[in-house]
Structure 1
Amino acid sequence: MPTIVQRATTTKPVSFEDTSIAFSSQSNGKLRKTYWLFALMNRGWLVNLGTFFIKLAFKLQLPVKKLIKRTIFEQFCGGETIRDCEKTIQRLQAGRVGTILDYSVEGEDSEVSFDETVLEILRTIERASESNDIPFCVFKITGIASTELLEKAQAGDTLTDEEQAAYERVRQRVDTLCRRASERNIRIFIDAEESWIQDTIDQLAYEMMDRYNHQHCIVYNTYQLYRSDSLENLKKSVACARSKGYYLGAKLVRGAYIEKERIRAHEGEYLDPIHHTKAETDRDFNEAIDFCLSNRDLVSICLGTHNEYSCQYCIHLMQEHRIAPNDPHIWFAQLLGMSDNISYNLAHAGYNVAKYVPYGPVEAVMPYLFRRADENKAIAGQTSREFLLVKKELQRRKGCQVS
């Protein structure tokens, strides 16, 4: 990876209300399209209805792909292939925002598909090594391993010889990706998943860190702070890294599986691992930022968040610790198509920012898109916030009228 060129430091305040910066890369036509998309997504009942009919259309093999590709897919995905994503990569880079190519194919569960996914993620690593515009790569363990196998391993059940061989192949796949990332000097995220397989994922992540993070931080684990035990797990993992002499990469997120976690806990009659309130999650997330910055001699972090307060909180701590905005060990990340007011204004102020850019065949990334729709409904005011910001920018631009 080419040497990171640090920009001049700045202490000027960051406003997430500046829509002229947030939407500077979007034409009037593109912005109007975004406006109407969020206007529709702002209605929960319509999202539910649309999700149902899209699933039905694919099941019946109706010709809806073109419509989806020109609307929700275009908003939240970079394309169907890495090459398709190039325009998005260049557009983001023009706004000083990096790209995190996220191969978002889901639902495949065979050894052949797992190996194919590894090859695709290797391609993202190779593409990232070519220039500074892709600062991170990422993968999900369930993209290269059977969920059932991961769950059985976490439960401590005895694996059959065949299962043990399959698990060794999982470890080899993870090592293949992290080793290539290390060879190319590319940082790589291991995404967090459901609690019933997360311990297994953590074990693999720390094994890779101990193997590849002794010189500098390559492998990052993901901490879902909506879990009541995550903050303590983060602290323990930092202590372990310090004792073993490797750097720890931490991507901090709030969490994406709250409904599945609550339903399973209720049905399984075990303690719900998720915080009871959002305030508790917010508290732990911000405490995690504080803890990581206090251990910045060892810890590199990426804040994967759309929460404006948490971003401002991190900015405040960085200024308090006299940390330059472009410090290479501190990044902010948001999803493509969302929270441009955060991403572009942070980047404009000199902070390190990247967007998750999902890609893959339209049919295969639909589960990802459905989750985006559900998350927008679940996060109080999120879609309304996006909608109002776009509306504000359209009204600011001369000659743009919206109803």
Structure 2
Amino acid sequence: MLTEAEIRQLRAEGKYPTQSEIDEIFRQSRLSLPAPIRIPLATGLSFIVGLALGTAQGSKMAGLRFRAEHAHKLPETTTGWYLYHKSKNYHVAYGGIKEGVKMGARIAFWTTAMLGIENMFDNYRGTADVFNTVTSCVTVAGGFSLWTGPDQPPPAMAKPSPLAVLPLSSIIRTLMTTTVSSSPFLLPPSLAIMSALAESHSPALNPDRNPVLRYFLKKTFYAQFCAGENAEEVRRTIASLKQIGFSGVILGYAREVVLTEAQTRDLTSNGIAGAAVQQCIETEIKPWATGTMETVRLASPGDFVALKFTGAGRQALYALSQRLPPSEALAAATDDICQLAASRGVRLLFDAEQQAVQAGIDDWTLAYMRRYNTADRAVVYGTYQAYLKATPSVLAAHLAAARDGGFTLGAKLVRGAYLGSDPRHLIHDTKTDTDKAYDGLAEALLRRRWSGPLAQLSEDQTFPNVDMVLASHNRDSVVKARAILEKGEARAQVAFAQLQGMADEVSCELVAGRGDKGAGEKEVSASAPRAYKYLVWGSTGECMKYLLRRAQENRDAVQRTRSGRNAMRAELVRRVKGFFGLA
């Protein structure tokens, strides 16, 4: 700031205008405001006006767009409606702010251009009159026309990205997880840490006892793959998935046992007798049954519940390893679970597990299918792992049993998740062989024909009723199955499933394919794919073995993991560009 003495000195030298000269400048200026004041002021005011108009228009359009996009999948529960309105309010606020800033910036730019050109003509002609104003307006109008181009029909709307339905937090978390899983430098130490946490008996490494460790895991890997630790968290997760557009979920209780080689050998030599029997019932079977029953209650009609027999403890493990019937207590608990599921319209998926117990699981699965599956509906589903060379024979035997017994076979087809523990000689030699087996079995079940790997495995070519779950992260396999479905050639009920936190690019394509029908759940065409997400619930500690298997699965499918990472990265870039109006 100049002092009064300095101003007088400058005026004496003719370098500073007098007060009368300043007053004259204001009188000669448009609106009595010199250009250095008038133009920034008008620019700011025009931005505020544009911001207000754009916010009003943008929020209204965002709300209408949200309602239109979700009209075919309205929630049915209080929690669902809460999440619906919460998500809608977010979209309205985001859309309003985004459109407001864009419109404000556009109006401010053209206002500045008009006033700047007007001031230029004023200075050039030495007078401020209406001619200069009209000339500047016409010039800006011409520039605006050149900028926007000639009148053309509006361009067709770009097809939205399937991943656009996912929340930003999920995109970022998945990108982080897949980046670690696809990195040859980050994955080995991560697997070592996960394995230590899953196998350790130290309280310091137990997430259920170490609050710091629990907080970190729950906000990262647990949130990526699991549903929650209690009923409220699980219901909230399920509601959010159905709000996105998934037909339902496959919900599992996390309690399970993964055997070491030494434990596998012990199973074949040590039975359980005496006081240990009652201890197993009280500390292993009953907690497993309680957790599984609660899982069935958390599921809605039409959902699936995944059931792991190994979670029932030592009695179950021993009986399965010896291909014995379940113990009386375990059989009663399993019957209670099946009856509850049947009464609630929930379907049960008996999960496949390690080869040490898989033959016993197949026996039990078939026995419960005979008991609870009807001629036109499956309550119990078996899981068939396409990476095993013996799977076609096992599946053919179960199909024959269903045909002869007059019940519907429930079949969940997977590639397999125990590469790290199953004997290598039982598994197909190459991934190509596994892919061929999976696609061939899927086609045979969908078309209900003794074809592909099932050809020549049955003299009687009559095929039983089949309800199937096609569980695959392989996009090619999903596309092939969808092609059969969309051509109307599928003769079996089919649901598509992927694990929570994995293969979201595949899952969201299925959701988009279903959403394009624009109808409610009951009105959707039979050719529309039904997409499900498989997720487990339980405490962070209980889920550690499940999380370890997911990490190992990502290691064994690096190329697929990289594809998922690239898809998430592209979606994140798309959203950033969209935020700045560059998409």
Aligned-residue RMSD, C-alpha: 2.6
Change (3 A) 1:106 1:305: same
80-89 or 197-206: which moved more?
80-89
Q: Does the residue aligned with 2:349 lie in a helix, a strand or coil?
A: strand
In the aligned structure 2, how far is the partner of 1:48 from the partner of 1:101? Answer: 29
Question: 1:282 Cα shift?
Answer: 1.0
Contact between 2:285 and 2:329, CA under 8 Å: does it hold in 1? no
Structure 1 equivalent of residue 288 of structure 2: 117
In the aligned structure 2, how far is the partner of 1:178 from the partner of 1:319? Answer: 33
1:64 maps to a residue whose letter is L
Structure 2 equivalent of residue 370 of structure 1: 548
Identity of aligned residues (%): 27
Which blocks of at least 5 consecutive residues in structure 1 are unaligned? 1-6, 9-17, 157-163, 266-271
Residues 1:386 and 2:564 are matched in the alignment: yes
Contact between 2:497 and 2:532, CA under 8 Å: does it hold in 1? yes
1:331-350 equivalences under 5 Å are: 331-350=495-514
1:179-258 equivalences under 5 Å are: 179-215=339-375, 216-258=377-419
In the aligned structure 1, how far is the partner of 2:471 from the partner of 2:403? Answer: 24
Contact between 2:307 and 2:351, CA under 8 Å: does it hold in 1? yes
Question: 1:72 Cα shift?
Answer: 0.9
Question: 1:340 Cα shift?
Answer: 1.3
Structure 1 equivalent of residue 162 of structure 2: 21
In the aligned structure 2, how far is the partner of 1:261 from the partner of 1:297? Answer: 30
Contact between 2:284 and 2:313, CA under 8 Å: does it hold in 1? no
Contact between 2:347 and 2:378, CA under 8 Å: does it hold in 1? yes
1:395 maps to a residue whose letter is V
Contact between 2:320 and 2:359, CA under 8 Å: does it hold in 1? no
Structure 1 equivalent of residue 435 of structure 2: 282
> Which one scores higher on RCO, CA 8 angstroms, separation ≥ 6?
1
1:386 maps to a residue whose letter is G
Write out per-residue CA displacement over residues 89-146 of structure 1, whole angstroms, 9 at most, x where no aligned residue: 11211122112221112349943232112112112222324xx5x6111111111243
Structure 2 equivalent of residue 301 of structure 1: 468
Structure 2 equivalent of residue 138 of structure 1: 306
In the aligned structure 2, how far is the partner of 1:397 from the partner of 1:152? Answer: 51
Residues 1:48 and 2:201 are matched in the alignment: no
TM-score scaled to structure 1, two decimals?
0.82
Change (3 A) 1:49 1:19: farther
Correspondence for 2:298 among 127, 134, 150: 127
Structure 2 equivalent of residue 15 of structure 1: none
Q: Does the residue aligned with 1:205 lie in a helix, a strand or coil?
A: helix
Q: Does the residue aligned with 1:257 lie in a helix, a strand or coil?
A: coil
Question: 1:151 Cα shift?
Answer: 4.5
Q: Does the residue aligned with 2:501 lie in a helix, a strand or coil?
A: coil
Change (3 A) 1:56 1:183: closer
Question: 1:48 Cα shift?
Answer: 2.5
Change (3 A) 1:120 1:23: farther
Question: 1:214 Cα shift?
Answer: 1.8
| Structure richer in helix, relative to its length | 2
In the aligned structure 2, how far is the partner of 1:292 from the partner of 1:55? Answer: 37
In the aligned structure 2, how far is the partner of 1:250 from the partner of 1:19? Answer: 33
Decide which structure has the larger Cα Rg and report it.
Answer: 2
Correspondence for 1:31 among 171, 175, 189: 171
